[in-house]
Structure 1
Amino acid sequence: MDIDVFVSAHRQAWDRLEDLVRRRRSLNGAETDELVDLYQRVATHLSIVRSGSADPILVGRLSALVARARSAVTGAHTPAWREFIRFFAVSFPVVAYRARWWWLGTTAAFVLVSAVVAVWVAGDPAVQAAIGTPEEITQLVDHDFADYYSEHPAASFAGQVWVNNAWVSMQVIIMAVLLGLPIPYILWENALNVAVSAGLMASRGKLDIFFGLITPHGLLELTAVFLAAAVGMRLGWTVVDPGPRKRGEALAEQGRAVMSVALGLVVVLFVSGLIEGLVTPSGLPTWARIGIGVVAEAAFLAYVFFFGRRALAAQETGDLERAPDLAPSAG
């Protein structure tokens, strides 16, 4: 990049931003809009200069200008309710949407492994014998599996389930600190647990009971776990392929995106826990219980894809810091 040409092309915008920042207390509506627009443009200029120039004086000048402009733009305190709405309308869904291919791949791998192992367990008496005695398996199939959902008061059970589900997802999120490397193992363990239960229930002709009890809450619960795993592994991949940004910048942004998912999934898993505690053990017909689970799952996916795609089109990243001093890049 020819730095002299770059400076010549954009000096007027920088000087104009300097002037608007200096007069920020007396700006009219049009000038305020211009201030915001120039702030975003000059922040992008700063990102370009950082990556393509070794001129410390220019970097320092633009950094100071962007910092002052940011203070002018964000000086007024944003009400907490607006931040809350922004988080659920932009930050959380756009991070989930940007990770959609990792999310889909994680889901497909989990379902495939679970199905293969379940078929193996259901069709091989030797494997069943290694898992437990015939009496233990009978106890699990005829009593323990179903009793698990009804042995505690509904409200208490819903709270317990929420905490447990949140812990599983937080494990996956925490593993992102290790660049996502342990996440496949955590998923493998959970896939085995699901598969063994399904296989044993199928071996005794109780697969309908298995799906009738696990589907209402399991769809949303597992979707949340898969999303957490996807963003965690995507963080690890950022080390390998940071894209057009510096590796440190990319890691910082993706790390904050992981935190967006962690916060958003607290609500998703709360809903899943309510379904598991109140709907799964209820006296509703099986079709009604499964229908509630399907509706909850469809609503969540529709929410993520609608709001996430819209936010991505607006070049949102879901970065909790919302620092726009990085050049926009496709997610």
Structure 2
Amino acid sequence: MDLDAYVAAHASEWQRLEALTRKRRLSGAEADELVERYQQVATHLSVVRTSAPDPSLVAHLSSLLSRARNRAAGTRTSTWRGVRTFFAERFPAALYRLRWWWLGTLAGSAAVTAVMMLWLLHHPNVEQSLLSPREVDQLVDHDFENYYSEYAASHFAAQVWVNNAWVTALCLALGVLGLPVVYLLFSNLVNLAIIGSIMTRHGHAGHFWGLILPHGMLELTAVFVAGGVGLRLFWSWVEPGALTRTQSLAREGRTAGTVALGLVAVLFVSGCIEAFVTPSPLPTWARIAIGALAETVFLAYVFVLGRQAFLRGQTGDLDEALLEDRVATQA
């Protein structure tokens, strides 16, 4: 196909559609024309993409169609409405649809951590190969507790938030490869098991869990969600099901983006708990109760709100209206 000739033949139609999208008010006839022109240009885009995929022309026509689609719909989604839809529909629906992946990751991680801690408790010689007696005493008597009160609470909250957001981002970004996610999760579990076994062996088990559980329940759940979604991203191209590998990977990649944005808010909450509640003078039971409440709210968010959104057809993927137009080329 001669692209220059095709552009010359249809440029006036594209210009007319652009003019219609810019008009503040459309008459009934102009609104009908807008829809008709939209369909024509969508077909032109399909022809160009198939026969002569010039990147700049494809981008121009895609942008023009997006503006025309919004104009034809007659509404503009406000920023606040978009945020509300995201947190009330897309994010919880994504968590619910992928629940077995991250619940399985959570259960498997808990089992692995428990096995490692028990093994370390029954093999004290391993502790001696990892840390010197002086380092163990420093960890047990000072470092572990001081970690939560070393900085001002607001600064510590920001530090924790950034660190945990980075770990979850890595799990999602490297999910397509599979094994890096397993490595990241295992590294975190090894550190938890080593510190937990050392604290337990030296009679500080209550102290350890009293400082870990208030924020750790929600924080680790968020990390396991990221790990589970990352592994689902890997599996999307290994076993794409009825979709092509490209389609399956694209859908799960968009959903992973939804989860990544939502987890920013979840990790912000857990970071605030870690900074303000964990080192607070509240009784241990009160601090753990606050953490348990945050975890319960999150699970209710997924299995009540998320389930309802999922049953209404939400999957966590982008709305069809936001995906690029795909119109069959007429023979």
Describe the SS at the equivalent of 2:77. Answer: coil
**Residue of structure 2 in register with 1:171 after alignment:** 170
CA contact (8 A) 2:70 2:76 kept: no
CA contact (8 A) 2:140 2:204 kept: yes
Which letter maps to 1:93? P
1:70, CA displacement in angstroms?
4.5
**Residue of structure 1 in register with 2:307 after alignment:** 309
Which letter maps to 1:150? S
CA contact (8 A) 2:102 2:225 kept: yes
Mapping 1:173-322, distance limit 5 Å: 173-176=172-175, 178-320=176-318, 322=320
What is the Cα-based RMSD across aligned positions, in Å?
3.0
- Specify whether residues 307 and 70 from structure 1 end up closer, same or farther in structure 2 by C-alpha distance, changes over 3 A only: farther
- Specify whether residues 26 and 311 from structure 1 end up closer, same or farther in structure 2 by C-alpha distance, changes over 3 A only: farther
**Residue of structure 1 in register with 2:101 after alignment:** 102
1:229, CA displacement in angstroms?
0.8
Q: Distance in 1 between matches of 2:311 and 2:27?
A: 33
Q: Which moved more, 1:74-83 or 1:112-121?
A: 74-83
Q: Distance in 2 between matches of 1:75 and 1:250?
A: 32
1:325, CA displacement in angstroms?
7.7
CA contact (8 A) 1:256 1:321 kept: no
Mapping 1:139-158, distance limit 5 Å: 139-158=138-157
| Structure 2 spans left out of the alignment, 5+ residues | 1-24, 29-34, 36-49, 51-61, 325-331
1:73, CA displacement in angstroms?
5.1
- Specify whether residues 323 and 240 from structure 1 end up closer, same or farther in structure 2 by C-alpha distance, changes over 3 A only: farther
- Specify whether residues 245 and 210 from structure 1 end up closer, same or farther in structure 2 by C-alpha distance, changes over 3 A only: same
1:263, CA displacement in angstroms?
0.5
Which letter maps to 1:317? T
CA contact (8 A) 1:257 1:319 kept: yes
Offset from partner CA, 1:274-319 (integer Å, 9 cap, x none):
0000000000000000000000010011011112111111111211
Alignment: residue pair count = 276
What's the % identity of the aligned pairs?
A: 51
Offset from partner CA, 1:239-272 (integer Å, 9 cap, x none):
1222222221221111010000110011100000
Structure 1 residue ranges (4+ consecutive) displaced by more than 4 angstroms after TM superposition: 24-27, 66-73, 323-326
1:163, CA displacement in angstroms?
1.0
1:79, CA displacement in angstroms?
0.8
Which letter maps to 1:129? Q
**Residue of structure 2 in register with 1:5 after alignment:** none
Q: Distance in 2 between matches of 1:313 and 1:255?
A: 21
| Structure 1 spans left out of the alignment, 5+ residues | 1-23, 28-34, 36-55, 57-63, 327-331
- Specify whether residues 322 and 270 from structure 1 end up closer, same or farther in structure 2 by C-alpha distance, changes over 3 A only: farther
- Specify whether residues 117 and 237 from structure 1 end up closer, same or farther in structure 2 by C-alpha distance, changes over 3 A only: same
Offset from partner CA, 1:88-121 (integer Å, 9 cap, x none):
0111111111110011110011111111111122
**Residue of structure 2 in register with 1:120 after alignment:** 119
Q: Distance in 1 between matches of 2:288 and 2:197?
A: 20
- Specify whether residues 211 and 68 from structure 1 end up closer, same or farther in structure 2 by C-alpha distance, changes over 3 A only: closer
Q: Distance in 1 between matches of 2:179 and 2:122?
A: 33
1:123, CA displacement in angstroms?
2.2
Mapping 1:318-329, distance limit 5 Å: 318-320=316-318, 322-323=320-321
CA contact (8 A) 2:219 2:267 kept: yes
Which letter maps to 2:136? I
Q: Distance in 2 between matches of 1:73 and 1:313?
A: 28
Q: TM-score, normalised by structure 2?
A: 0.76
Q: Distance in 1 between matches of 2:283 and 2:95?
A: 33
**Residue of structure 2 in register with 1:78 after alignment:** 77
1:67, CA displacement in angstroms?
8.1
